Amino acid sequence: AAVPAPRPAPARAAAGPLRAERCAVSLRQVPEELRVRVRLPDGLVTEESLQADSDADSISLELRKPDGTLVSFTADFKKDVKIFRALILGELEKGQSQFQALCFVTQLHHNEIIPSEAMAKLRQKNPRAVRQAEEVRGLEQLHMDMTVNFSQGALLSPHLHNVCAEAADAIYARQEDVRVWLDRGVDSSVFEALPKTSEQAELPRCSQVGDPGKPCACRYGLSLAWYPCMLKYCHSRDRPAPYKCGIRSCRKTYSFDFYVPQKQLCLWDEDP
Ligand SMILES: *[C@@H]1O[C@H](CO)[C@@H](O)[C@H](O)[C@H]1NC(C)=O
């Protein structure tokens, strides 16, 4: 069965690092990382960390939402795969001391984000500046109707093992992407179908379900508040051709729909 069963968070994470991280001032400090202060759509300011790995040809981005959720995004240019991960903290006042991890895997398309070698060269003159994306890209809604088997995940992207370790039972994908990956030779044992939320007309949104044990259609939304989405080119009399002279920044929001066997796996989905 590929559907995620409710499970306690790993003891290690529940007791230690994540709680500590919640109070930490800054995100992980790693060389070659660019840390920018960004303004979120609700006006609050958070810190975002961007890292490029030219050898692996990948970019990763991490930011913490004001509610404590840690959102990360990985672009794997070698496999044309992007991975979103959310570590959602339980609400302490509701007695939820654990966190829940979700991973969403989908195709990375060209021109969604700048190349990793350009990202690796990115510097900022004023680290205190609060940045706001120049371009707001439209909301993308993704209907996740398959799961990825964590132990087979490396066949899809070598990053999956690190990024989604916490979400081993909750890695979601879309049939339309899976078809493309199968065509490219990814083994079919990586994927499993979920019960179809769209065809089950009876299946209600989790926000409308009272019984925590009932299956429902869960929704999770996240935003990449600021990321370099395009290279800017300049012209100069001294140069024969346009040359790279900066980046354009974007903000984009994603909304993921997926089946959960029990509403209690989707406790954040309470808005009507
Ligand atoms: C994941 O794949 C492994 C190896 O093929 C298999 O043994 C395991 O049962 C699969 N897990 C699930 C949840 O389907």
For residue 213, CA distances in Å to 15, 158, 260, 267 come to 26, 35, 10, 11
Q: What is the pLDDT of residues 162-194, one digit of tens each?
A: 999 999 999 999 999 999 999 999 999 999 998
Residue of minimum CA distance from atom 7 in ligand 1: 151
Query: Averaged over 78-91, what is the pLDDT?
Result: 92
Distance from residue 151's CA to the centre of ligand 1 (Å): 7
**In this structure, how many other beta carbons lie within 10 angstroms of the beta carbon of residue 107?**
16
Distance from residue 157's CA to the centre of ligand 1 (Å): 17
Distance from residue 258's CA to the centre of ligand 1 (Å): 20
Look up the pTM and report it. 0.84
Residue of minimum CA distance from atom 13 in ligand 1: 2
Distance from residue 169's CA to the centre of ligand 1 (Å): 11
Residues 152/187, Cβ–Cβ less than 8 Å: yes
Percent of the chain residues topping a pLDDT of 90: 64
Residue of minimum CA distance from atom 11 in ligand 1: 149
Q: Which atom of ligand 1 is nearest to the CA of 189?
A: 5
What is d(CA 236, CA 226) in angstroms, rounded to the nearest whole number? 28
**What is the predicted pLDDT for the residue at 26?**
35
Q: What SS3 state is found at 201?
A: coil
Of residues 143, 151, 160, the one with CA closest to residue 78: 160
Pocket test for ligand 1, best of 150, 152, 156, 169 (most atoms within 8 A of CB): 152
Distance from residue 149's CA to the centre of ligand 1 (Å): 6
Residues with Cβ within 8 Å of 196's Cβ and at least 6 positions away in sequence, in order, are 145, 259
Query: Averaged over 184-213, what is the pLDDT?
Result: 86
- In single-letter form, the type of residue at position 182 comes to L
Distance from residue 199's CA to the centre of ligand 1 (Å): 26
pLDDT band at residue 3 using 50, 70 and 90 as cut-offs:
very low
pLDDT band at residue 107 using 50, 70 and 90 as cut-offs:
very high
Burial of 114 (0-12, 13-18, 19+ CB in 10 A): buried
Pocket test for ligand 1, best of 151, 172, 189 (most atoms within 8 A of CB): 151
Distance from residue 24's CA to the centre of ligand 1 (Å): 37
Which residues have CB under 6 Å of ligand 1? 2, 149, 151-152, 189, 192
**What is the predicted pLDDT for the residue at 125?**
85
Mean per-residue pLDDT of the chain: 85
Residue of minimum CA distance from atom 1 in ligand 1: 149
**What is the predicted pLDDT for the residue at 67?**
85
Residue of minimum CA distance from atom 10 in ligand 1: 149
Supply the Cα-derived Rg of the chain in whole angstroms.
19
Range with the lowest mean pLDDT among 104-113, 123-132, 146-155? 123-132
Distance from residue 187's CA to the centre of ligand 1 (Å): 13
Looking only at the bridges linking them, the beta strands covering 58-64 and 45-53 are: antiparallel
Residue with tokens 């179809």: 196
Q: Which atom of ligand 1 is nearest to the CA of 2?
A: 13
Residues 190/208, Cβ–Cβ less than 8 Å: no
Distance from residue 161's CA to the centre of ligand 1 (Å): 15
What is d(CA 80, CA 106) in angstroms, rounded to the nearest whole number? 9
For residue 210, CA distances in Å to 57, 263, 271 come to 45, 8, 13
pLDDT band at residue 199 using 50, 70 and 90 as cut-offs:
low
Residue of minimum CA distance from atom 5 in ligand 1: 189
